C-alpha cells in the first residue's frame, strides 16, 4: 500500500488581527507542515490584503523601503507609522497602509468608540507620500479602528468640514451629524495630480442596513445606541459628499462598491479626491506590484493552506480565504483553512471551495493568551491538520 504524500504545498494566509502579520502566519504554518513531512517544498505567499503588514510585504517583495512617519493616531495620540516606497518595476508607487495610522490595534480597548476615532493620521501619511514625490498612491484598506467616513483624512489633506454656521467640526464620525458643507480651497496641491487607488473590500458600503456603522460598529466598540447614532451621522455625511465634493455627484456615495472601506474612508477619498475604489486582490495580487504570481504557484501545488484570524459568515464576503479558495478551485487544487477561531456560519466556506477547516484552539483560553501563543498554536494546528491529511491518504490507498 502506498499513500500519496503532498510534495509541494502553497501556504497563502492573511494576518491575524492584533496578533501576527501574514508573513509570521505563513512561517508558523510552514514549520508545522515540515514537522510532518520534513522534505516537502513549501511555498510561502503571505497575502497582502490591505491590512496590517501590507506595506512591509510589498516593500520586501519589490526591493523597496518603508518610510517612518510620526502621525496622529486614531485616538489623537502620536504614533510612529510608515508608508512604503516600492522598488523594481513599481518604482514611483507608494503604499499607504491605513492600519498603520488608523488601525484597531492602535485603539486601546478601554477607548474603543468608532464615533470618536479619526483617520486624520491616514491623511498625514498620504500627505507624506505626496511630499515624497510619489506618482501613484495605493491605500490599503483593512483592520481599521475608525468610522469617520474619511473626514479626518481629508482634514489632514487640507479640507475643512463645516457645520451650518461655518464652524469647523470636531474630529470623529459622530460629529458628522452636523456636517453641512466642505471647503476644499486648502487641499494639498498634489492631491489631484497623482493616481490614488484604494485597495478595498468592495462588499463594504457606507450606508443602509449593511452600512459600516451597523456591520462593523459593534466590532469597534459601539453600543446599539451608538451604532444608530453613527449610522445617522454617516447618512448626513453622504448628503454633504454628494452635494459639495468634486466627484460626489458622479458616484454612488452611499452604497457603491467599496464606499464603506475602512469605516467610510473609501467614500470620502473617492468623492473629494477622485480616488478609485478597486477590489483589493485585483490591485494587490493581479496588478503590477508583485514579481511573483500567486496563480503560478497555485498551479504547481498539490494542496493549499490558507488562514485568517476568524473563519465565519463574513469569510465568503471578500476575505483572504475566499479569494484563495476561488483561485484554487480554478486550478483544481484542494484547500485547507486554519483559523484562530471558528465562528458563526463557518461551514459556509465549504461552499466556496475550502475542503476542511481547523481552529488553532484546542482548549478554552483567554484572547490575550491565544495572541501571546499565536505562533506556537499555529504550528501545532498545521501539524495536526497535516497528520489528518496523511491519515486520509492512507485510508484512500487502503480502499483502492
**316/41 Cα distance (integer angstroms):** 29
Domain-embedded: residue 288: no
Domain endpoint, select from 255, 283, 311: 283
126 pLDDT band (50/70/90 cuts)? very high
**Does residue 120 sit in the same domain as residue 216?**
yes
Give the pLDDT confidence score for residue 388 in this predicted structure: 95
CA distances from 367 to 17, 168, 254, 361, 363 (A): 12, 40, 35, 10, 12
Give the pLDDT confidence score for residue 1 in this predicted structure: 53
Q: pLDDT by residue (tens digit) across 241-300?
A: 999 999 998 899 999 999 999 999 999 999 999 999 999 999 998 877 887 789 999 999
**Does residue 271 sit in the same domain as residue 126?**
yes
CA distances from 179 to 82, 132, 148, 256 (A): 30, 32, 12, 21
Please say whether the beta carbons of 17 and 364 come within 8 A. no
Give the pLDDT confidence score for residue 272 in this predicted structure: 98
39-53, 144-158, 273-287 — most confident range: 144-158
**Does residue 208 sit in the same domain as residue 309?**
no
**104/75 Cα distance (integer angstroms):** 10
Residue 131 reports pLDDT greater than 80 = yes
**392/355 Cα distance (integer angstroms):** 13
Mean pLDDT of 58-63: 90
**Does residue 74 sit in the same domain as residue 152?**
yes
**5/27 Cα distance (integer angstroms):** 21
**168/155 Cα distance (integer angstroms):** 10
**Does residue 170 sit in the same domain as residue 222?**
yes
Q: pLDDT by residue (tens digit) across 369-392?
A: 888 888 999 999 999 999 999 999
Query: Minimum mean pLDDT among 18-22, 145-149, 173-177, 249-253: which range?
Result: 18-22
Mean pLDDT of 200-215: 95
Domain-embedded: residue 306: yes
Domain span including residue 383: 8-45+293-399
Amino acid at each position: 500500500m502506498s499513500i500519496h504524500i503532498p510534495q509541494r504545498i502553497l501556504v497563502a494566509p492573511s494576518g491575524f488581527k492584533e496578533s501576527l502579520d501574514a508573513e509570521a502566519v505563513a512561517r508558523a504554518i510552514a514549520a508545522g507542515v515540515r514537522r510532518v513531512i520534513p522534505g516537502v517544498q513549501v511555498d510561502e505567499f503571505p497575502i497582502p490584503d490591505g491590512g496590517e503588514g501590507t506595506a512591509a510585504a510589498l516593500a520586501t517583495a519589490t526591493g523597496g523601503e518603508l518610510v517612518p512617519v510620526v502621525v496622529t493616531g486614531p485616538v489623537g495620540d502620536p504614533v510612529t507609522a510608515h508608508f512604503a516606497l516600492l522598488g523594481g518595476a513599481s518604482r514611483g508607487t507608494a503604499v499607504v497602509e491605513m492600519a498603520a495610522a488608523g488601525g484597531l490595534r492602535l485603539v486601546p480597548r478601554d477607548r474603543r468608540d468608532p464615533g470618536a476615532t479619526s483617520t486624520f493620521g491616514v491623511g498625514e501619511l498620504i500627505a507624506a507620500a505626496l511630499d515624497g514625490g510619489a506618482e501613484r498612491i495605493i491605500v490599503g484598506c483593512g483592520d481599521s479602528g475608525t468610522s469617520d467616513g474619511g473626514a479626518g483624512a481629508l482634514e489632514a489633506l487640507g479640507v475643512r468640514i463645516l457645520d451650518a454656521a461655518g464652524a469647523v467640526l470636531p474630529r470623529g464620525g459622530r460629529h458628522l451629524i452636523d456636517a453641512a458643507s466642505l471647503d476644499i480651497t486648502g487641499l494639498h496641491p498634489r492631491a489631484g495630480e497623482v493616481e490614488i487607488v484604494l485597495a478595498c473590500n468592495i462588499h463594504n458600503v457606507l450606508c443602509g442596513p449593511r452600512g459600516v456603522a451597523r456591520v462593523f460598529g459593534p466590532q469597534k466598540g459601539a453600543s446599539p445606541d451608538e451604532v444608530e447614532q453613527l449610522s445617522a451621522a454617516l447618512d448626513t455625511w453622504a448628503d454633504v459628499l454628494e452635494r459639495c465634493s468634486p466627484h460626489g455627484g458622479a458616484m454612488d456615495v452611499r452604497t457603491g462598491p467599496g464606499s464603506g472601506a475602512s469605516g467610510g474612508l473609501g467614500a470620502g477619498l473617492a468623492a473629494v479626491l477622485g480616488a478609485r475604489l478597486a477590489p483589493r486582490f485585483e490591485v494587490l495580487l493581479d496588478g503590477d506590484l508583485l514579481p511573483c504570481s500567486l496563480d503560478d504557484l497555485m498551479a504547481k501545488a498539490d494542496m493549499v493552506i490558507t488562514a485568517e484570524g476568524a473563519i465565519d459568515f463574513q469569510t465568503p464576503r471578500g476575505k483572504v480565504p475566499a479569494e484563495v479558495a476561488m483561485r484554487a478551485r480554478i486550478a483544481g487544487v484542494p484547500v485547507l483553512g486554519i483559523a484562530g477561531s471558528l465562528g458563526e456560519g463557518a461551514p459556509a466556506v465549504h461552499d466556496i471551495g475550502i475542503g476542511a477547516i481547523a481552529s488553532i484552539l484546542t482548549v478554552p483560553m483567554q484572547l490575550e493568551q491565544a495572541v501571546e501563543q499565536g505562533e506556537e498554536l499555529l504550528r501545532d494546528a498545521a501539524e495536526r491538520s497535516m497528520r489528518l491529511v496523511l491519515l486520509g491518504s492512507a485510508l484512500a490507498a487502503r480502499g483502492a
